[in-house]
Chains A and B, each alone.
Chain A
Amino acid sequence: MKLSMASSPHNHSQKSVRSLMITVICACIPGILTQAYFFGFGVLIQLVIALVTASAVEAAILKLRNKPILPALNDGSAWLTAVLLAISIPPLAPWWITVIGIIFAIAMVKQLYGGLGFNIFNPAMGAYVLLLIAFPVQMTSWMPAEQLLTTAIPLSDQLALIFTQMNGTGLTLDDVRVNADGVTMATPLDAIKTAVSQNYTVSEAMLGMQFSDYAGIGWQWVNVAYLLGGIYLIKTKVINWHIPVSLIATLAICSAIGYIVSPGTQAGSAFHLFSGATMLGAFFIATDPVSACTTDKGRLIFGAAIGLLIYLIRHFGGYPDAVAFAVLLMNMAVPLIEHYTQPRTYGHGAKK
């Protein structure tokens, strides 16, 4: 009889980088479809542009660095970055926005630091912030939900807007946005911010037609879809619960306190949780395995700090949404957090 001896670890995880990345991409699908339903097919076009560019840039940089191309392309991390960036930018943004963003994300934020596993910052969010600062007009031109448009924009016009910045009849994106209902409709977060700065109360602002009972029309369902995708990720153990739960809890508590103190100028928890990129950020972006904390205690602190920063920037900052800034700021704090939250090694450093 032959006894085979297996060395530890005995319990194998069948997860490879590739399967993890593909699972995360799949978990985005409900959110992407909801986004496409409410905000038009633009997001799918942006996805295609982003995926193609990401593959090309990744291959080109790997070639420059004399690294094997196929294994790195196949692990899917570049595609995940592409997906996350494509769903973060306005669906009808010009094509070069996506291309510049992806080049920056892959070449500068990821590969210049040494490729997957070495990047300090989340590539998709680094690129998002670059685009937001470089092209504020294009990056804030969100269309209102299609259900609010008097006439839906046909697919051919959406394609034309993305690639030539004009629709079939020669109107620019700004014209189209105004034509929809006579006024440009800001995103819910933006609308609240503007209204409060003009001394309206939040409840007055929420009478606007882009709002439903809790948050913006469309936006709240997009957030619900990402929440579902996120729960699937936790269930399949692709991500841990610590970061999303502490992020969402902190954001909810902070906004609840704000609402109690000053209901006129601050929207409540439900609005904050289901507006903008909260759920996408909590489950898909803040949980990036490379740039987030890896200790459990650290993850709780990391998530909570992001939640707090999102609340602070949304309420006091100059930009309507804050997920990207909050994540990048906390990415910088990760080494410090990890330094102070190292778990005790078995047999060392026990309390006397």
Chain B
Amino acid sequence: MSQLKSLMKEGMWGNNPALVQLLGLCPLLAVSSTVTNALGLGIATLLVLVGSNVTVSLVRNWVPKDIRIPVFVMIIAAFVTIIQLLMNAYTFGLYQSLGIFIPLIVTNCAIIGRAEAFASKNNALLSAWDGIMMGLGFAMVLLVLGAMREILGQGTLFDGANLLLGDWATILRIELFKLDSQFLVAILPPGAFLGLGLLIAGKNVIDEQLKAKATPTDAPEKAPRARVTSLT
């Protein structure tokens, strides 16, 4: 039970794929211009991540070590194809607005990273849970970034939510304020970089404060080390 909890904490916060591992930045930065796009890509990535993690975990004992990466990529590609076809069938508008970034989920390092670092070493249940949590962590950052950019750039939230959720969702659209001149930068790629930088900075500030609260004594500071993935 405690392992499930620690996996949850790792995925959502401590080893968040977007904020800490900085993996999968290409789709993260490219499609977070509105909440709807962000939510669509977040869910797609989440589903692929869970599917690939479970499958990789199930076949992990039969895959020779030398060719594991190609095998993992094939598995991921299969799940991405499934998701792509499903989105094409049921959320065609969103499928069009996400465009090339749906097939590009295959190359999202966060997914292959979890397959390699976690799923190939753990059983299917834990891997599924890890996939859910990592996917949620990724989707959460996408959502926050999408909301920041949509509010600043258009003054709205959930614009075009009907593309993802069906026609009833048009009522979700919230117009926060009307801008005479849009803050275009927020919607353009530079806004994504600025926004993500601010989010990472914000996370680090919170971590520092939590650490300061936890250890009031002055412990000797270790040399800073960039951690890419955690193996446990």
> Which residues of A does B touch, CB under 8 Å?
108, 112, 130, 133-138
Contact = CB atoms under 8 A, between A and B. Distances in A.
Nearest to A130: B185
Interface of B: 181, 183-186, 188, 190, 194, 201
B181 A133 contact: no
Nearest to A131: B185
A133 B184 contact: yes
Give the 10 A-B CB pairs with smallest separation, nearest first. Answer: A134-B185, A134-B184, A134-B183, A133-B185, A135-B181, A130-B185, A133-B184, A133-B188, A138-B181, A137-B181
A112 B201 CA distance: 10
A135 B185 CA distance: 8
A138 B186 CA distance: 17
A133 B194 contact: no
Dominant secondary structure at the B interface: helix
15 contacts: A108-B194, A112-B201, A130-B185, A130-B190, A133-B184, A133-B185, A133-B188, A133-B190, A134-B183, A134-B184, A134-B186, A135-B181, A135-B183, A136-B184, A137-B181
A136 B183 CA distance: 10
Given A136-B184, A138-B181, 16 more contacts: A108-B194, A112-B201, A130-B185, A130-B190, A133-B184, A133-B185, A133-B188, A133-B190, A134-B183, A134-B184, A134-B185, A134-B186, A135-B181, A135-B183, A135-B184, A137-B181
Dominant secondary structure at the A interface: helix
A142 B186 CA distance: 24
A102 B183 CA distance: 15
Contacts of A138: 181
Contacts of B184: 133-136
A53 B185 CA distance: 21
Contacts of B194: 108
A133 B184 CA distance: 7
A137 B188 CA distance: 16
Nearest to B152: A134
Nearest to B190: A133
Contacts of A130: 185, 190
B41 to A, nearest CB: 24
A130 B152 CA distance: 14
A304 B185 CA distance: 30
Contacts of B185: 130, 133-134
Nearest to A136: B184
Most central of B181, B184, B190, B194 by chain A CB within 10 Å: B181
B160 to A, nearest CB: 22
Contacts of A108: 194
Contacts of A112: 201
Contacts of A135: 181, 183-184
Nearest to A112: B201
Most central of A130, A136, A138 by chain B CB within 10 Å: A130
A244 to B, nearest CB: 29
A130 B186 CA distance: 10
A138 B184 CA distance: 12
B200 to A, nearest CB: 12
A171 to B, nearest CB: 16
Most central of A133, A134, A136 by chain B CB within 10 Å: A134
B190 to A, nearest CB: 7
B5 to A, nearest CB: 35
Contacts of B190: 130, 133
Most central of B183, B185, B201 by chain A CB within 10 Å: B185
A165 to B, nearest CB: 8
A138 B188 CA distance: 18
B163 to A, nearest CB: 26
Contacts of B186: 134
Nearest to A137: B181
B93 to A, nearest CB: 28
B77 to A, nearest CB: 36
Nearest to A135: B181
A130 B194 CA distance: 11
Contacts of A137: 181
A112 B184 CA distance: 22
